[in-house]
Structure 1
Amino acid sequence: MKISQGNVPVYTISGSEARPLPEWLIRKRKRSLKNDPEFANRVDLLQDFEFEEASQCVRVSEDGDWVMSTGTYKPQIHVHYTPHLSLSFARHTNTLNQTFHLLSSDATKSVHLQQDRCIEFHTGGGLHYASRIPRYGRDLIYDRRSAECLVPSVGVNAEGMGECFRLNLEVGRFMRSYEIDVGGDGATIGAGSLQGGIDAGAVNTGAIAEESHNLLAFGTSHGTVEYWDSRSKNRVGILSCPQDSVEGRSEVTALSFPRSGREVAVGDSNGIVRLYDLRSPTPLLKKDQGYGLPIKNIIYLDGAQTGEPKILTADKKIIKIWDAKDGSPWTSVEPSVDLNHVEWVPKTGMLLTANEGRQQHSFFIPQLGPAPRWCHFLDNIVEEMAEDPNDPNAFGKGAIGEVYDNFKFLTIEQLKQLSLDHLVGTTNLLRPYMHGFFVAQKLYEEARLISNPDLWQEQRAKSIAEKINKERESKIRGTKKAAVKVNRKLAEKMLEKQEEQERRRAKRVLKRGGDDDMLDAAAPAPAVEEPVQPSGVLNDPRFAKLFEDPEFEIDEQTREFQQLNPSTKIPKGLTLIYDVFKEEAALGATKY
């Protein structure tokens, strides 16, 4: 269930390490599995999160309620509805899918690049439309500002240039393609024009900085990256990656822009990732994946959860997360099967993968971010299962009390009063527990100060009053016991119960002839006399604040308290016959 890499734990929620078993085998081995802690602690995150042979691509919708996956065999599409943690529907296709994108905020509209040169558009009702492209596509990009599907392709056109086909969804037709220099075939004239020829050039991948300047970047098999302006439809720059002295110039297989758009991450076919500033051809940072395999995914992770910006890179063997500033490794995940695609659930610590093998993998990294809102129970499960008490996001049993001293429990109504309800499911500062959330004490104090600017003066006056009361209590007084400050009625009620228990015990001892005292006398005395601790809740230091701190004062005016503790009880009166007998008895007593 748990894979630990360094100081950052990674939990395998589903996949080869999660030990799934079919229902018939579970029933057959029910007794043996009862004492298996690994199987008992398994978590089935999404129902039927698998394909018969392998999965090709996986995406999460913008609203976070849908997960779409493609795989084989037979070629099909699976759509999961995350609030129900189950498979919503499955749909078969004619050919294998290569990649796809969601066009809407949910999973109702999507565009798919198939391996038979088809671009398919799917809606909730099924296949809406399909169009073929002249050559095989390598990747699929969606430009939201111009509503265009961009398909980098293999081979060159009549002018010897590689192409990225443009399908405009607003106009409903193909526009003039982006012509990209892919080098062609350096050995034979004309061979480069054949998409199946030897060393045929190709536009392998592309990326778009849609959250900033909307610049397009295309990586080629020639080892170059071309930048295009989506407004003027012109090339604005070319980046040539360094050439390896042994293997020569490698192909560009992955590209990614951060949210700022000032940098670009380039992954090549030799497992090298380089970070470039758009204003300089010199790489800022170089990172080796370690296996020499083509990079499949590069994802910029939100630094708000990790403290520092992180970058996720993946080939078919391993997923690595490292620091974007100095390249220091942060954590890594190495599944037992080959990876085809990795998807990060935004603003969370969840990773979903499409991979070879039956089951799709899902990994949870608590230090990367909280669990998604549709599986927030993972936070509690991880806290119970964690073994490292120094991990600030997943605590062991011995450290729970120490850690939660720095947290304040608030209900959802209290969060709304402090204007903190928008943080639910987006940050580690709010941790779901029972009917509310544990909120970091520092955040709670800041929110209280913002909502009530006069709070500081009230706290200051309160602290001064507490110091004065403490000094008064420290003075020598009589033997009279100091009364409780808060919840006086509760204390009196508990004292009455305690005295009633003592009276019952005394009666029981007298009835047995002092057997309890004899047993106490027969017990061996300890070698060292221990100080006698006062018994009862009132003298228990664990509950001291219940009778001292005004924040623990019981509000007897609330509806819940009045329902549980009715203030008035109608005494059970005597019937009319008993009243008559009572009057006659009184009259008879007066006669004598």
Structure 2
Amino acid sequence: MEVIDPNNVKIYNLSAGKSLPEWLSDRKKRALQKKDIDIRRRIELIQDFNMPGVSTNINISPDGQYILATGIYKPRVKCFDVHHLSMKFERCLDSEVVAFQILSEDYSKLVFLQCDRYIEFHAAGGYYYKLRIPKFGRDLKYHSPTSELFIVGASSDIYRLNLERGQFLMSYETNSSEINKCAVSPVYNLLMCGTREGKVEAWDPRERNRVGELDCALHCTSDTPLEGFPSVTALNFQNGLTMGVGTATGQILLYDIRANKPFFIKDHLYGLPIKNIEFENNHDFVMSMDSSVLKIWEKNSGKMFTSIEGKSDFNDLCFVKNTGMLFIANENTKILTYYIPSLGPAPRWCGFLDSLTEELEESKINTIYDDYKFVTKAELADLGLSHLLGTTLLRAYMHGYFIDIRLYKKAKAISDPFAFEKYRKKKIRELIESERQNRVKAIKLPSVNKDLALKLMSDGRKQSNLLEDERFSNLFKKPEFEIDQNAEEYRLAYPHLSRMDNKKKKKEREKLLQDKFQEISGGGNDEELEGRNSSDEESSSDDEAEIKNELRKQYAIIRRERREKELEEEKMSEPKFYELKEGEDYKGIRHLKNKINKSSLGDRVEKEERNRILFTGRGNREMKFHFKKNQKDSKYEEKIKRHQEERRMLHRSAMGLLKKEKPRMWKGKRVV
């Protein structure tokens, strides 16, 4: 048993556990249970609750005593008795089942819609009758008041088969090209049909007419863009008023049948067709399932309650009413069984689950045969084991055989004795190639604080490397943390930093000298060693004096820069006076107006548009403006222009350097 808790809701997967091969005898199975703790602790709620290949449909009888499931291969139907927790019967069919319906309270009356257009009826004893419909069917529903069976499919007609008379009645003609799904209201007995065009048509069997139509595709595409067309793929009723519609693009629309618009739309966000919709009435939850996930959410708000994801694609959902048990048919041999205590208690026939789920919680799943190896017929021939065909050492399965893993390893070693040597050479070759590649690696520096990163890389401290520490990642990513080397604080601290760098370089040089040269003993002065440490004291005093001098210089440079900046600001803030040129008279503002009037129409329109403000709807305003050029940019442009003019003045033509060809003469006359 596996326990998962998405969204803090405990879900028990009762079908999880290590599976055993079917061909093992009972004695071997008991021996494995004694040896393997995983097999011993697994819970097999219903015996043989599986299919040979894939389970396609699953449903529970109205009396709640029988579970019926269909699958392949071969096509078959299995009936399980929940009171005995075992299989009651198994019947093989001629074709794969598309959908089936339980006509009675128990398993005594069944009808199957098959993929080859046949409808097959079964009684308690087995097969009863089979007939064919004109088009391929996709769904069928039984209408108990009139004893009619409605079949829909790749046609615009709804086929009516009266089970009391045993004959087909006149079909209902819809406005669609194909019908994917149908459902019958449990209160009003209305027949709802979901079409390929994304519409739901309502038919009243009493009047034999269409009484309403809903355009679900229109409401799906109004808010969100979709990749495909939202055809209707799922239909179900909660009660007489609420109806759920699932589309091929992954939306679920909840309708009140009195309105033509959905009161809530839920998107699965997977883009996969919705396969089934179920309603949980105690907590007002909706269960919607596509091929990858089953989601349980609140009907009115859409808030997620929990979800179930499977390793294989889901095909059908069966929810046991008023309990927390649900069954899922999927693309695997096991039929999945889930128990959610938050939805409700366990059914009466498995009331022991409430106590077991608290004790046996496991998280490990093994769904493969650990002791067997699957091989094809060609692999058997390569191993030299073709003579074992037909013996008990090989078990036929699908397109190959299961063989004991120990026998497989021995045969592999005999057929290819140099396999280990080849493997060893391959690994050595891969190791050599990996060492050859990228011997010289380019150092990738961060975009911020490159100097600091280079310094840290050169230090090579693995224990306290800021580049690898996530706490200081913003220091090399965000520009707000970039070190400004022109700041006053940095410049005042620079003498200390440069002194530390010099000390490191000095230590590295001393280390190199010690590695290369050996110190000669006995040449020192003992008096100096005993009496004083003059060299250490002098070096420390020299360092302090250098630091003080550097600090004085930096303070002086900073003061001078501040003074220059203040003078520039004072010059910019002072008022500017202009003097008229000689021969010019002040004519007042009228002269300016005359100048504006004399200007061209285009210039005047441009000036008006600069200051014009447009008032649009909802209080918005629109204004056009032009950026002024920076003074620095304009000075730079003037400098370039002057430079180009100087170059043009100094330019000398190279025409005089070219030699002109002399004319060719012949007998005193010019030839060329």
Alignment TM-score, normalising by the size of structure 2: 0.51
Map 1:102-181 onto structure 2 (within 5 A).
102-155=102-155, 162-181=156-175
Does 1:21 find its partner at 2:20? yes
Per-residue CA deviations over 1:220-245 (Å, capped at 9, x if unaligned) read 00011111112111111110012534
Deviation, 1:31, is 6.1
Tell me which amino acid in the other structure corresponds to 2:253.
Answer: R
Partner of 2:574: none
Give the match for residue 201 of structure 2.
226
1:59-458 mapped onto 2 (5 Å cutoff): 59-155=59-155, 162-182=156-176, 201-210=177-186, 212-241=187-216, 242=218, 244=221, 245-247=225-227, 249-259=229-239, 261-303=240-282, 308-385=283-360
Could you report, residue by residue, the CA deviation over 1:391-427 in whole angstroms, capped at 9, with x for unpaired residues? xxxxxxxxxxxxxxxxxxxxxxxxxxxxxxxxxxxxx
1:33 aligns with 36
For the 8 Å contact 2:34–2:40, the answer to whether it is kept is no
After superposition, the C-alpha distances for 1:121-150 in whole angstroms (9 at most, x for unaligned) are 101211111110000011111111111111
| Root-mean-square deviation over aligned CA pairs | 1.7
Matched, 1:6 2:15: no
Equivalent residue pairs, number = 352
Q: 1:248 to 1:339 in 2, by over 3 A?
A: closer
Distance in 1 between residues matched to 2:269 and 2:212, nearest whole Å = 30
Which ranges of structure 1 fall in alignment gaps of 5 or more residues?
Answer: 156-161, 183-200, 388-592
User: Which amino acid in 2 is paired with 1:44?
Assistant: E
Q: Is the 8 A contact 1:322 1:331 kept in 2?
A: yes
The one-character-per-residue Cα deviations of 1:49-98 (angstroms, maximum 9, x if unpaired) are 11111011111111111111111100111111111111111111111111
Structure possessing the higher radius of gyration over alpha carbons: 2
Name the CA distance, whole Å, in 2 between partners of 1:205 and 1:77.
22
SS of the aligned residue for 1:74 comes to coil
Matches of 1:344 and 1:375, distance apart in 2? 15
CA distance in 2, matches of 1:384, 1:246: 46
Retained in 1: the 8 A contact 2:229–2:249? no
Say if 2:228 and 2:249, in contact at 8 Å, map to a contact too. no
Describe the shift of the 1:31–1:130 C-alpha distance in structure 2 as closer, same or farther (beyond 3 A): closer
Residues 242-262 of structure 1 deviation map (CA, whole Å, 9 limit, x = unaligned): 253443641000011112x11
2:49 partner SS: coil
Three-state SS of the structure 2 residue aligned to 1:322 is strand
- Counterpart in the other structure of 1:471: none
SS of the residue corresponding to residue 58 of structure 2 reads strand
- Report if the CA contact (8 A) 2:204-2:210 is conserved: yes
Residue 30 of structure 1: how far off its partner (Å) = 5.0
**Local SS of the residue matching 1:371:** coil
Tell me how far apart the structure 2 counterparts of residues 266 and 83 of structure 1 sit (CA, whole Å): 34
Distance 1:356 1:248, change over 3 A: closer
Q: Deviations over 1:474-519 (max 9, x none)?
A: xxxxxxxxxxxxxxxxxxxxxxxxxxxxxxxxxxxxxxxxxxxxxx
- Please report how far the alpha carbon of residue 283 of structure 1 lies from its aligned counterpart in structure 2 after TM superposition: 1.6
What is the CA distance between 1:281 and its match in structure 2? 2.0
**1:522 aligned residue:** none
Q: Residues 357-390 of structure 1: CA distance to partner in whole angstroms, max 9, x if unpaired?
A: 1111111111111111111111111233479xxx
Distance 2:205 2:279 in 1: 22
Partner of 1:588: none
Give, in whole Å, the separation in 1 of the partners of 2:229 and 2:72. Answer: 34
Distance 1:72 1:341 in 2: 14
Whole-Å Cα distance in 1 between the matches of residues 237 and 160 of structure 2?
Answer: 21
Distance (whole Å) between structure 2 residues aligned to residue 293 and residue 142 of structure 1: 28
C-alpha displacement at 1:28, in angstroms?
6.2
Q: SS of 2:138's equivalent?
A: coil
CA separation of 1:248/1:43 partners in 2, compared to 1, >3 Å: closer, same or farther? closer
Using the aligned pairs only, state the percent identity: 41
Question: How many Å separate the matches in 1 of 2:61 and 2:13?
Answer: 22
For 1:65, give the aligned amino acid.
Answer: Q
User: In 2, distance between residues paired with 1:26 and 1:88?
Assistant: 22
Asked if the contact 1:321–1:329 (Cα under 8 Å) also holds between the matched residues in 2, the reply is yes
Contact 1:164 1:179 in 2 (8 A): yes
Equivalent position SS for 2:230: coil
Q: How far apart are the structure 1 equivalents of 2:247 and 2:19?
A: 35
Work out the CA distance in 2 between the residues paired with 1:214 and 1:31: 56
Aligned-pair CA distance for 1:101: 0.9
Cα distance in 2, alignment partners of residues 134 and 29 from structure 1:
53
Q: Is the 8 A contact 2:226 2:249 kept in 1?
A: no
CA–CA distance in structure 2, aligned partners of residues 386 and 325 of structure 1: 34
Counterpart Cα distance in 2 of 1:274 and 1:174: 33
Greater share of residues in helix:
2
Q: Distance in 1 between matches of 2:361 and 2:302?
A: 27
Maintained 8 Å contact 1:79/1:87: yes
Counterpart Cα distance in 1 of 2:71 and 2:314: 13
CA distance in 2, matches of 1:173, 1:18: 49
Partners of 1:337 and 1:220 in 2: CA distance: 28
Q: In structure 2, give the amino acid aligned to 1:295.
A: I
CA distance in 1, matches of 2:106, 2:66: 6
The alpha-carbon deviation at position 289 of structure 1 amounts to 1.5
Q: Would you say the 8 A contact 1:153–1:165 is kept in 2?
A: no
CA distance in 2, matches of 1:30, 1:53: 25
CA contact under 8 A between 2:66 and 2:106: conserved in structure 1?
Answer: yes
Deviation at residue 290 of structure 1 after TM alignment = 2.4
Letter of the 2:117 partner, please give it.
Answer: R
Amino acid at match of 2:13: T
**Contact 1:12–1:18 (Cα < 8 Å) also in 2:** no
Are the counterparts in 1 of residues 138 and 180 from structure 2 also a CA contact under 8 Å? yes
Q: Distance in 2 between matches of 1:359 and 1:246?
A: 34
Q: Distance in 1 between matches of 2:323 and 2:196?
A: 34
SS in 1 for 2:353: helix
SS in 1 for 2:5: strand
Q: Partners of 2:49 and 2:215 in 1: how far apart?
A: 41
Q: Take 1:292 and 1:246, find their aligned partners in 2: how far apart are those partners?
A: 8
Q: Distance between the aligned counterparts of 2:47 and 2:269, measured in 1?
A: 34
Contact kept in structure 1, 2:9 and 2:342, CA below 8 Å: yes
Q: TM-score, normalised on structure 1? A: 0.57
Q: Quick one: which amino acid aligns to residue 66 of structure 2?
A: W
